[in-house]
């Protein structure tokens, strides 16, 4: 019981500190030991729970449209990484398991020049409401995951997914529609 009180107090101190340096953290949120290079570009919704070692990396902080928006009642497990050059949006009531990576940017790789000399690419990632993403998933640039969908553990999502579907694999493929209870 004392341990829980100490952990809650340390979370409140962390939230207070993060708000001082620019984070937009709504009430009821719980934030673990996270890393963020541009806190004013990250928004965390009401009653969301962000576990330890989550990284919020903003690559183009002076771009007005760049940022990371986490909805309300969202759970993000430990050791997740959000790497943003465009925009990453996580809808309300999502569950994101540990060790997931979200990267809204990539790189051209034409054969005419060295890869390191070629242009970077970027496209928003949008995760709808009530989405469950299993552990060790990678969500790549331009992906939109529809409301109520489920992504199986270890999947690499490189294309958009319609609402209420289950996808899994490398690359992720359609498994089935989510059924409704009668």
Question: Is 136 annotated as catalytic?
Answer: no
Backbone angles phi, psi at 17, to 5 degrees: -60, -50
113-130: per-residue pLDDT in tens? 888 888 888 999 999 999
Report pTM. 0.91
21-53: per-residue pLDDT in tens? 888 999 999 899 999 998 899 999 999 999 999
Catalytic, out of 107, 136, 144, 181:
107
pLDDT of residue 63: 86
Six-digit token string for 161: 């997914």
Give the mean model confidence (pLDDT) for residues 141-170.
Answer: 98
Residue 152 has pLDDT above 70, yes or no: yes
60-78: per-residue pLDDT in tens? 888 888 999 999 999 999 9
Where does the pLDDT of residue 182 fall: very low under 50, low under 70, confident under 90, or very high at 90 and above?
very low
Residue 1 has pLDDT above 90, yes or no: no
């Amino acid at each position: 019981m004392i341990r829980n009180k100490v952990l809650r107090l340390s979370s409140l101190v962390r939230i207070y500190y993060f708000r001082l340096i620019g984070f937009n953290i709504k009430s009821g949120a719980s934030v673990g030991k996270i890393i963020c290079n541009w806190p004013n570009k990250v928004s965390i919704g009401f009653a969301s729970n962000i576990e330890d070692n989550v990284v919020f990396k903003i690559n183009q902080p002076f771009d007005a449209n760049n940022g990371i928006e986490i909805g309300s009642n969202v759970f993000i497990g430990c050791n997740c990484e959000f790497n943003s050059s465009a925009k990453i949006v996580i809808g309300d009531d999502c569950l994101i398991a540990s060790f997931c990576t979200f990267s809204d940017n990539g790189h051209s790789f034409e054969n005419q020049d060295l890869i390191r000399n070629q242009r970077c690419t970027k496209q928003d990632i949008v995760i709808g409401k009530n989405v469950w993403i299993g552990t060790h998933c990678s969500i790549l640039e331009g992906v939109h995951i529809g409301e109520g969908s489920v992504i199986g553990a270890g999947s690499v999502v490189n294309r958009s997914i319609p609402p209420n579907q289950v996808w899994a694999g490398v690359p992720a493929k359609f498994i089935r529609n989510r059924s409704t209870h009668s």
